[in-house]
Amino acid sequence: MTRNDRKMTKNPLLQKYKKFFFPGALLLLILLAIFFQYALKILPFNFALIPLVLGGGYVIWSTMEAVFKLRKITAGIMVVLALIGTTYVGEYLAGAIVAFMMISGEFLEDITLNKTRNAVKALIKLVPEVARKKIDGEYQEVSLRKIRVGDMLLVRPGEGIAVDGVIISGQAAINESSITGESMPVDKTIGDKVYVGTLNENGVLEIEAEKIGNDTTLGKIIKTVRMAQENKGDVQKIADRFAVYFTPLILSICVLVWFLTHDLMRVMTILVIACPCALVLATPTAVVASVGNAAKRGVLIKGGITLEKAAQITTLCVDKTGTLTRGKPKVVDIRGFSAIAEDELLMSAAIVEKNSQHPLAKAILEYAYSKGIMDIPDSKDFKMMFGRGIKVQYDHASLEVSNAKALMDTDIIENREAADYLKEQESQGRTALVVIRDRRVIGGLSIADTLRDDMKSAIQRIKDTGIQRIIMLTGDNEATAKSIADQVGITEFYANLLPEDKLEIIKSLKQAGEKVAMIGDGVNDAPALMLSDVGIAMGAMGTDVAIESSDIALMSDDMMMVSETFALSKRTYGIIKQNIWIFAVLVNVAGVFFSSLGILSPIIGAIIHNVSSIFVVLNSARMLTYTYHQPQGSLSGHRKAA
């Protein structure tokens, strides 16, 4: 975030209201002109010349500046011609009103459009202007511009965090709603990541700065929201091409009307009403409003192209690990054989796994801790058996935790109960292990990657938005894939996939005419996200690869936000089409037609033109507060979405 960014947040009273002065002064002069012209005819000249010169001069100057800057003819040329024409025929008051309507229309459009940019301003305000930096062993308050990567910072309770960094000491509850959209604070301690713009609600933290300024997660969000208006979709590109040919077309109609009627007032009215301002505003206003809406809820959308494509998705591919599931193994079942107590079985397993760094070992130890087993004795002769398990010596006994291959060992006493347990658990897609003491199987443990909360409801909500085909992609075996798919309500899945297999599936779907979205963790799935029509990275907070490789980044792990994002995209696409075809094209065509017949005057034409532009902006501004209401009767509840 630059110095200019911070200036945006400063809004003194004079700065806030000075924009009202010029339109207000013009309106006052026009009212005086009407009074002098119709009520008090004492001036030796037409008073309407004053607002005409002031307003018309501003319109002509700004239009010519745009023409020379863009090096092409703009729609404002028609307004200039209209002003020249009304002046030529002596309709000074009409010319003054045309100029006033153009200026006031742009003024109202600017005010409304600025409201759609409040998301960026609100994000910038989250960044503290100062921070406590460690200098010569003491923490001193310094400007944010003096913070560098590697600096040590102190954050007290109630203060905002000024950088992306890692906690070196302390623990606290951090409110990350500005990034993730989640209102509940997150408990963090030594080694955990923290992010700029989040709030330390309690505790004192020492953090080491890892990213500053535009390189932070919040900086990337601000950059993406700003770029959204420039990132136009195909609908806006059509509108842009239409606007290029619009001016020559209108001028041709003006020549034809003049040739047929010789009525200069009709020609002037056509020029006034036909300016394509509404067409130009149709997409950017809706896109910025929608992107701002999503950003407040922790969803990063990369502009108009993404919104448009997301509205047309027909097939959604979902990665299993880390998306549908938590991506972290967890003990889900434990069973002792031959009257062995579960706590005795769990202690034996924990002793074996104590010195292992394997993810399954960590799952067993975490489960033991959760059951109150905190003091785990050390073992001897730790032996890693590749492809099978771990074996140790403890208290003159041999202890082992292994998979099904252990039962094939002739040294292990045969146990039908163990074989049945392994078969039962593996049929559910779980990783089943047995615990062996002195060649005898004493029990079994089952470990699985557990589903995220409310995942079945989240999948149903996505279907409610109109995306009926959802495909799960996973590298796990068939049994595991089927178990997870059945639990979440997905009927189509592919198992045993390598990363390149996922790419081939997405390619084949696109070749078949499907519009494909892919949801993944944004790191391992980066190629698939980039190949799909819309790539959605889940849990992207602090992950540069996820933000860069995806079209939509969910800062949190909340799968519910996927359906809300699709609903927002569909609604935005509808708003853009309304803006273009109803408020822009239809109003212009009707206005030109009635102006050609002499039914409308230049003043009425100016009013109609600006009213249509204002309606476009107001229609788009509705997306700032758009809320997705779940269809009645849905399985997914009644939670409201962005």
Query: Could you identify the residue written with the tokens 């075996």?
Result: 477
Pair of tokens at residue 96: 């003054």
449 an active-site residue? no
Nearest CA among 159, 466, 205, 520 for reference residue 314 = 466
DSSP code for 320: I
DSSP code for 161: P
| Helix, strand, coil percentages for the chain (3-state, nearest 5) | 50, 20, 30
Residues recorded for the chain = 642
- How many angstroms separate the Cα of 563 from the Cα of each of 203, 325, 463, 641? 36, 17, 8, 8
Q: Which amino acid is at 355?
A: N
Residue 362 backbone class (left: φ over 0; alpha: ψ -120 to 50; beta: rest): alpha
Q: Which amino acid is at 29?
A: L
3-state SS class at 372: coil
For residues 460 and 634, the answer to whether their CB atoms sit within 8 Å is: yes
DSSP codes joined into one string, 420-455: HHHHHHHTTT-EEEEEEETTEEEEEEEEEEEEPTTH
Catalytic residue, chosen from 5, 164, 319, 525, is 319
Pairing of strands 469-473, 492-494: parallel
Residue 381 backbone class (left: φ over 0; alpha: ψ -120 to 50; beta: rest): left
DSSP codes joined into one string, 25-62: HHHHHHHHHHHHHHT----SS-TTHHHHHHHHHHHHHH
Tell me how many helices (H) and strands (E) the chain has: 24, 22
Give all strands of the β-sheet with 172-175 in edge-to-edge order.
Answer: 186-188, 172-175, 199-200
Where is 632: in which H helix or E strand?
Answer: none
Within 8 A by CB and 6+ apart from 213, the residues are 1, 2, 219
Pair of tokens at residue 402: 């292994």
The residues that are catalytic are 319
